[in-house]
Structure 1
Amino acid sequence: MNYIQDMRQLIGSNLLMTVGCGIILEQHGQILLQHRKDRDVWGIPGGVMEPGETFLETAVRETYEETGLQAENLQLFGLYSGAQGYAEYENGDQVYSVQIIFHTQEFSGELIQEGAESHEHRFFKPDALPQINAHQERFIMDWVNKASLPILK
């Protein structure tokens, strides 16, 4: 099932509201980021909720699909909404996304470097981040700044 593709066939590029779920995977004080293929930016693994999924199921599924890692013992990091949730993609598709972000230091598996959506995955120190996806900057910077959890924005 691909809810987004189905909806795009019905509404074209008009505004679509989505729920995105992602995980900040932390190891030894570093954050795992993926270098996206669709844009030359880095961000955390995650993606859009499919109908019937829970927030946790979405975050774990998307993270596994993109990284090969099985995240465990997730804690709520933050809930993100507001004007920064609006985006228009190069193809003209408009989206407003509410983001539910989790955090964990517990995960297993073998890290996949290149996949359908990413060139590579790498751990970064807070003071040595690459070019971050603008739509994820606020929660990545909340992690860098050790904001009080959970974050409600």
Structure 2
Amino acid sequence: MGYIEDLRKVIGTRPVILVGAVVGVINERREILLQKRPEGIWALPGGLLELEESAEDAGRREVFEETGVEVGRLELIDVFSGKQYFRKLENGDEFYPVTIVYTSNDIKSSIIKVDGTESIDAGFFSVAELPDGTSPLVMKLIEKLNPVG
């Protein structure tokens, strides 16, 4: 069981601050890697930090777990936080995310293999031709990443 699940056993659904990392992986054709989540939303790969894990390691781990793509060096782009990002999940859990956004063009392996749980599809997309269902939050992050600039 993971850190967040253990924490929820103690605090229930009360609001917490959760720290996560997402990575805009950009290939040599200046395309960005997106994953399709089970709810049908296309997003940047990423997820929450585990205990003792750096944000950079979490970003690399999540990209690999969700898409099969391996990345090396990460560049810090921005940190998103605040009440506008507050989430209340269907199960009642409430949280304020702090999302650390990285980019990487240091692709060690670009073979895409989705996990079938957190990702049901993944691929590299031109910023000019993003798939239908790309999250508005991701659109904001992609603008910040500016991979075609």
Normalized against structure 1, the TM-score is what? 0.85
- Cα gap change, 1:138/1:65 in structure 2, threshold over 3 Å: closer, same or farther? same
1:142 aligns with 144
Q: Any idea what SS the aligned residue of 1:138 has?
A: helix
Which letter maps to 2:77?
A: F
2:10 aligns with 10
Q: Measure the CA separation in 1 of the matches of 2:65 and 2:7.
A: 22
CA-CA distance at 1:86 after TM superposition: 0.9
Q: Which aligned runs of 4 or more in structure 1 are off by greater than 6 angstroms?
A: none
Q: Any idea what SS the aligned residue of 1:62 has?
A: helix
More strand by share: 1
Normalized against structure 2, the TM-score is what? 0.87
2:66 aligns with 66
2:117 aligns with 116
Deviations 1:3-50 (A, max 9, x none): 11111111222212110101100111211100001x220101110011
Q: Any idea what SS the aligned residue of 1:136 has?
A: helix
- Percent of matched pairs sharing the same residue: 32
Q: Any idea what SS the aligned residue of 2:120 has?
A: strand
Which letter maps to 2:142?
A: I
Structure 2 gaps of 5+ residues are: none
Count of paired positions: 146
Q: Any idea what SS the aligned residue of 1:98 has?
A: strand
Preserved CA contact (<8 Å) 2:87 2:96: yes
- Backbone CA RMSD of aligned residues: 1.9
